[in-house]
């Protein structure tokens, strides 16, 4: 955990791999947070005046700068999370993909456009327009400290807003680097449009109370509830992404080698610290044993420290241990790993089989390199078990045909589903991302992600006068009545 100074005014970011100090950062209090919001709001007025073309140009300049500085950003991500550099570089690539899409598509999605007026309002020209919400407070996670918050930051900026970002106390350096890189890449008048405040939970609460116009939060459901309570006092809208317990479903005629590869990567990459990763596998009985054998073989080859890094949050080790021991005590068995797999700060791959559905390992987010592989009667049962979770974020389906895979995907409650691959949607910036239930609410990415940070505005412009005006007292009741009756008859027969 980060170390706090005796004065409680600064804290240190430390490497999860060896505990070395990476940097010292201020603990920002309510007054400092409010001041950051005020500065961002002032810059947002200039940002609005820049228009679609000016904002697009500035954001693409920032993107190009981040691309040139990829190694620098990736090294910061790797140092604070412990993930291998090649994983960190991939995370930065996702940042570039999404920032580019948001910058290039904001005008198309949010620009003013005509809407059919309808027969009753033929004399009106109807327009739909979007305006920025104002200043967005973003509270980010530590597992993907660049990609995940940028799903809110980049889209909020593209929609015309200012942003104040509170990164996780485990990854403040990544947050500050993102903000400083923005200031370096854009014209000086926009430098304080995107700013960072650092600290712990109290700083995040201060941000939610600082007069922002929307909060975008990523973290645990418990913390999301606390943020929601703060936002409720001022009716500040909240977008919440709160993790998952995602399932991978395998049919009897699936490509088992591909399914096993997806299961291992989805469960073990980033040390299992992926909200939309794979934590549960449901395989039809006829292929279950062979699938388990393939998963175990692939997972056994992984070497912590090379394939993936340590657990970024030290206390998560206790969660992984509790889930594993409870599952084994309840009758599950581990063809790979076990309690001996916990070698702080690393956890070696663990594969569990026959895990009772009522155990924590099947109900709660484990967030470690652990995967449970259970047998089911058929895909109907697999869908039923996958949907029984309190989480509804992502899912993966492997079947013998794309048509069947799509049919199964349509029956799942998850907000995002990949058929024939794992996390395929993560690299498609035009697709929305988000869940329901314990996974939160609202969407980032894609057109829905842009609209999440904008407010719809309806506009009508009178084109000509009709003989009967239903919005004027000068229209006689008889004429108005005839108009209403005409409308009634039209809708009675259409």
For the chain, the distance separating the N- and C-terminal CA atoms, rounded to the nearest angstrom, is 66
Over residues 164-177, the mean pLDDT reads 98
**Which residue is associated with the tokens 């969407």?**
443
User: What pLDDT sits at residue 6?
Assistant: 42
**Residue 241 is among the residues annotated as catalytic for this protein:** yes
Q: What is the DSSP letter of 445?
A: S
Share of the chain above pLDDT 90, in %: 95
pTM of this structure: 0.96
Q: Which residue's structure tokens are 């929609």?
A: 159
What six digits make up the tokens of 233? 């006092």
Q: Please pick, among 91, 231, 275, 365, the residue that the annotation labels catalytic.
A: 275
Give the SS3 label for residue 82: coil
Banded model confidence at residue 7, pLDDT cuts 50, 70, 90: low
Q: What is the DSSP letter of 467?
A: S
d(CA 457, CA 4): 46
Q: Is 301 a catalytic residue?
A: no
The confidence band for 466, taking pLDDT boundaries of 50, 70 and 90, is: confident
**129-159 pLDDT tens trace:** 999 999 999 999 999 999 999 999 999 999 9
Query: Could you give the CA distance from residue 243 to residue 252 in angstroms, rounded to a whole number?
Result: 29
**Phi/psi at 245 (5° precision):** -135, 60
Spatial contact of 420 and 258, defined as CB atoms under 8 Å apart = yes
Identified catalytic residue from 80, 91, 176, 241? 241
């Amino acid at each position: 955990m980060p170390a706090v100074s005796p004065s409680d005014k600064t804290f240190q970011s430390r490497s999860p791999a060896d505990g070395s100090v990476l940097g010292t950062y201020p603990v920002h209090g309510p007054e400092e947070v409010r001041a950051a919001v005020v500065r961002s709001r002032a810059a947002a007025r200039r940002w609005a005046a820049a228009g679609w073309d000016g904002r697009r140009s500035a954001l693409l300049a920032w993107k190009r700068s981040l691309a040139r500085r990829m190694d620098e950003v990736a090294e910061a991500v790797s140092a604070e999370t412990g993930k291998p550099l090649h994983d960190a570089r991939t995370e930065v690539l996702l940042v570039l993909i999404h920032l580019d899409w948001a910058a290039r598509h904001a005008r198309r999605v949010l620009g003013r456009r005509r809407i059919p007026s309808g027969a009753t309002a033929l004399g009106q020209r109807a327009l739909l327009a979007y305006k920025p919400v104002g200043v967005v407070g973003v509270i980010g996670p530590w597992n993907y400290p660049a990609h995940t918050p940028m799903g809110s930051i980049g889209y909020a900026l593209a929609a015309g807003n200012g942003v104040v970002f509170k990164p996780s106390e485990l990854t403040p350096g990544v947050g500050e680097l993102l903000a400083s890189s923005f200031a370096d890449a854009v014209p000086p008048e926009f430098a304080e449009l995107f700013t960072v405040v650092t600290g712990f939970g109290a700083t995040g609460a201060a941000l939610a109370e600082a007069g922002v116009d929307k909060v975008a939060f990523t973290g645990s459901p418990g913390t999301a509830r606390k943020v929601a309570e703060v936002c409720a006092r001022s009716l500040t809208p909240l977008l919440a992404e709160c993790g998952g317990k995602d399932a991978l479903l395998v049919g009897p005629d699936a490509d088992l080698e591909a399914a096993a590869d997806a299961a291992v990567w989805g469960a073990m990459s980033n040390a299992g610290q992926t909200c939309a990763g794979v934590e549960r596998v449901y395989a039809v009985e006829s292929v279950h044993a062979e699938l388990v054998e393939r998963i175990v073989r692939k997972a056994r080859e992984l070497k912590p420290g090379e394939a993936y890094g340590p657990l970024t949050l030290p206390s998560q080790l206790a969660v992984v241990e509790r889930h594993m021991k409870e599952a084994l005590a309840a009758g599950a068995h581990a063809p790979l790993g076990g309690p001996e797999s916990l070698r702080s700060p690393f956890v070696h791959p663990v594969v569990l089989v026959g895990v009772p559905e009522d155990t924590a390992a099947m109900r709660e987010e484990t967030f470690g390199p652990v995967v449970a592989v259970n047998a089911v009667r058929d895909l109907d049962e697999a869908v039923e078990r996958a949907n029984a979770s309190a989480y509804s974020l992502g899912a993966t389906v492997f079947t013998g045909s794309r048509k069947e895979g799509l049919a199964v995907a349509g029956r799942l409650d998850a907000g995002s589903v990949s058929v024939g691959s794992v996390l395929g949607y993560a690299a498609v910036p035009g697709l929305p991302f988000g869940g329901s239930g314990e996974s939160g609410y609202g969407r980032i990415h894609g057109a829905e992600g842009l609209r999440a940070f904008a407010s719809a505005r309806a506009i009508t412009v009178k084109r000509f006068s009709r003989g009967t005006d239903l919005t004027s007292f000068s229209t006689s009741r008889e004429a108005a009545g005839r108009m209403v009756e005409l409308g009634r008859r039209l809708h009675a027969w259409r």
